[in-house]
Structure 1
Amino acid sequence: MEIANRHRHALSKNQKWTLASTSSGFMLENMDVLFLSFAMSSMIADLHLSGPAAGLISSITNVGMLFGGIIFGILGDKIGRVKTFSHTVIIFAVATACMAFTNNLYLIYGLRFLAGVGAGGEYGVGISLIAEAFPKNEIGKLTSIAAVGGQIGAIFAAIIAAWIIPTAGWHMLFLVGIVPVVLTIFVRKHLHESQQFLNAKSAEKDSLLTTVVRKMFATPRLAWQSLGLMIMMIVQIAGYFGLMNWLPTIVQKQLNLNVANSSLWMIATIVGMSIGMMTFGSIFDHFGPRRAFSIFLIGSAIMVYTLSLATDMITLLLIGAIVGFFSNGMFGGYGAVISCLYPTEIRSSANNIIVNVGRAIGGFSSVIIGMLMDHYNLTVVMGFLSSLYIISLLIMVSLPGLKEIANKQTN
């Protein structure tokens, strides 16, 4: 009853701005990052790029995310969430916009690295803002709402790319990337640091780097908790990249679909992802992370394999939406779990380190899937992805911290 009454109460001004700015930040970040995917074929033709040279652009972006995650995660815990959030948005926006003015491959590599630095730094800082602005028993739902913003960004990227590239070319598409800078004006004007963060700063005794190492890796239990969450995040990102990078090509071959129909499949999958995020957040808040992750990891393992059985367009769209529901519905839950398991003084660092290690390593799943496709049939490829979710499930149930979160929520 108490929880129900709390939901009926209006959000405070700071809570509204926190949720709006974080969701918008994730939306604009994902939009800017996905501009590269939609512009890649045009860039290859225009700049006469080889396959490895073009693929390295994406890989460098992921490496930048890892560096940015570590650097800005620590800065977020050191100088404040709001200021750091603004810096990350400016970096990825300006670096993306500068792509509009270059045809030099090495300069493109440098700009994509910088864009990755900004994008990688934003996640942990944004999640920390949410975790410190809302009650703990609502974090699952609210981090999932913010994560849905990223899916909206993917849809915007597709629409804007389809409109701009045919008429103005890929350079002009990247120029749109400057738009997120406007967000920083509102963030710096309306958001302020939480009292929870200010209290943690005033009580700080050791150096931040020492505190991060001590709170994340000092004991075998903490080290396994951090490593286990990294592995789960690697699986999460590997599944996402497998879905969004390879499955459109796979289903085109399987059902002889054209590009328009495969795009329709992607839209259905993204809609399923968004609904899954909201559902996961509610289950997380009411029943705890272990039950929420168990349902979605088992569902992902089953439905990814089932995707190989689709024989017509309607079945493909339905299964694609369900696969998206389970496989990416969990994404917002990682920020909620990390924010609950690690203390305020390292919350930003822990989120960014764990998530961006997952991004950097999990992003290479597209390479592994490509190798499997060259030597094996679709059943083996889908079986590989399904097995990853089972591994993640086994690791999840071995993490004692997740059980403690559930106990705190029910007490």
Structure 2
Amino acid sequence: MLLQRLEALPVGSFHYKLLVITGLGWLFDAMDTGLIAFVLPVLGKEWGLSAGQMGAIGSIGLVGMAIGAVIAGSIADKFGRKAVFSATVILYSIATGLCAVSWSYESLLIFRFFVGFGLGGELPVAATLMSEYAPTNLRGRFIVLLESFWGVGWIAAACIAYLFIPVYGWHYAFIIGALPAIYVFFIRLHMPESVRYLLSKGKVEEAQKIVDDLEMRLGVKYTGDLKATADDVPTEKPKLKDLWSGKYLARTIMLWIVWFGIVYSYYGIFTWLPAIVYQQGFAFVKTFEYVLLITFAQLPGYFCAAWLVDKLGRKYTLSLFLCMSGVASYFFGQAQSAE
């Protein structure tokens, strides 16, 4: 069967190339999300924004991400992962560029919403595409490595803030954030469409060609049935309500709770950390230095998790890092100085 051949492919240059292509999307997403965290202290002072207004600017993008994630998933099932991935990258790039020319608090809110909408739409599509091509025995590792690009993106945002905002102002940070639109050309050239998506749309020959090409590039000679069979083509379309059926109910609830806690604490800390440190009396440049150091600490965690996830399993690796994060967060809250 076609899907069995896809699952049986050995890890090769194709998988790492796809990891880089989708990972760059995550990197640009994180860079864009991180930019607003570093811009807020400067923007708040320049525009004389209240705490409530700064909170709205920092949060409106997350609202857009929530809506974009829900809508983009359905659209990707209809038009394909590749097309939606490209469209969302263009959307948040253009919206970020428009943030640079914002003329008022209200206009910035609108542009940040569309930035979030594009970001939220791109993230799950990239992760889905990577998981569909990653070998079963190493799927966890590839997904964690994909998410490690998020940490690199925050580092990029911190570097942009450190090097450009003090010298050129916050406008240039957003202009740089618009550059990922150019990346779409590489997506169109080097990213394959999802085989499962093609099969679901009855495009069997196109799916067959992708698998044939991959086997040839990876030096695989499949000895079984080379043709797609009826088992490859899904007969029943999954529905959102299936997540709340008896089979998935417990894991859905637990994953929603865990993911809510992770996102709540992560964005709560990283979005507001530059502003909090600045409010403690540190200069802009010093603030960026501290946050950049903390951001770098994410990378060892990602790489360690990528190694452990296929050794200990998803559940135990997640539990271990959640416990470590809880302990570290407690002591972070008790800190009396930036040092």
Both proteins in one fold, TM over 0.5: yes
Whether the 8 Å CA contact 2:38–2:288 is kept in 1: the answer is no
C-alpha separation between the residues in 2 aligned to 1:258 and 1:39? 14
- Superposed displacement of residue 102, structure 1: 2.4
Task: Name the counterpart of 2:147.
Answer: 147
> Structure 1 residues 19, 232: CA separation in 2 closer, same or farther (over 3 Å shift)?
same
Which residue identity does 1:122 align to in structure 2?
A: E
| Percent pairwise identity | 28
| 1:216-254 alpha-carbon deviations (Å, 9 max, x no partner) | 12x234233222211101111122134324566777899
State whether structure 2 residue 242 is matched by structure 1 residue 215: yes
State whether structure 2 residue 225 is matched by structure 1 residue 224: no
Which residue identity does 2:312 align to in structure 1?
A: F
User: Which segments of 5 or more consecutive residues in structure 2 lack a partner in the other structure?
Assistant: 1-9, 203-232
Whether the 8 Å CA contact 2:151–2:295 is kept in 1: the answer is yes
Task: Name the counterpart of 1:197.
Answer: 197
C-alpha separation between the residues in 2 aligned to 1:216 and 1:200? 20
Whether the 8 Å CA contact 1:68–1:118 is kept in 2: the answer is yes
Which residue identity does 1:216 align to in structure 2?
A: L
- Residue 60 of structure 1 aligns to a residue in which SS? helix
- 1:243 corresponds, among 265, 269, 292, to 269
Which residue identity does 1:75 align to in structure 2?
A: I
* Number of residue pairs the alignment of both structures matches: 300
Task: Name the counterpart of 1:300.
Answer: 325
C-alpha separation between the residues in 2 aligned to 1:309 and 1:117? 35
- Residue 304 of structure 2 aligns to a residue in which SS? helix
> Structure 1 residues 196, 279: CA separation in 2 closer, same or farther (over 3 Å shift)?
same
Whether the 8 Å CA contact 2:92–2:119 is kept in 1: the answer is yes
Higher helix share: 1
Whether the 8 Å CA contact 1:141–1:278 is kept in 2: the answer is no
> Structure 1 residues 242, 129: CA separation in 2 closer, same or farther (over 3 Å shift)?
same
Which residue identity does 1:109 align to in structure 2?
A: L
User: Which segments of 5 or more consecutive residues in structure 1 lack a partner in the other structure?
Assistant: 1-8, 317-411
Task: Name the counterpart of 1:372.
Answer: none
State whether structure 2 residue 278 is matched by structure 1 residue 277: no
Instruction: Mark the structure with the bigger radius of gyration.
Output: 2
TM-score normalised to structure 1 length:
0.66
Whether the 8 Å CA contact 1:140–1:282 is kept in 2: the answer is no
Which residue identity does 2:13 align to in structure 1?
A: S
Task: Name the counterpart of 1:11.
Answer: 12
C-alpha separation between the residues in 1 aligned to 2:278 and 2:100? 31
- Superposed displacement of residue 295, structure 1: 1.5
- Residue 297 of structure 2 aligns to a residue in which SS? helix
- Residue 321 of structure 2 aligns to a residue in which SS? helix
| Matching of residues 227-376 of structure 1 within 5 Å | 227-245=253-271, 263-308=288-333
- Residue 180 of structure 1 aligns to a residue in which SS? helix
| 1:350-369 alpha-carbon deviations (Å, 9 max, x no partner) | xxxxxxxxxxxxxxxxxxxx
Task: Name the counterpart of 1:48.
Answer: 48
C-alpha separation between the residues in 2 aligned to 1:252 and 1:176? 23
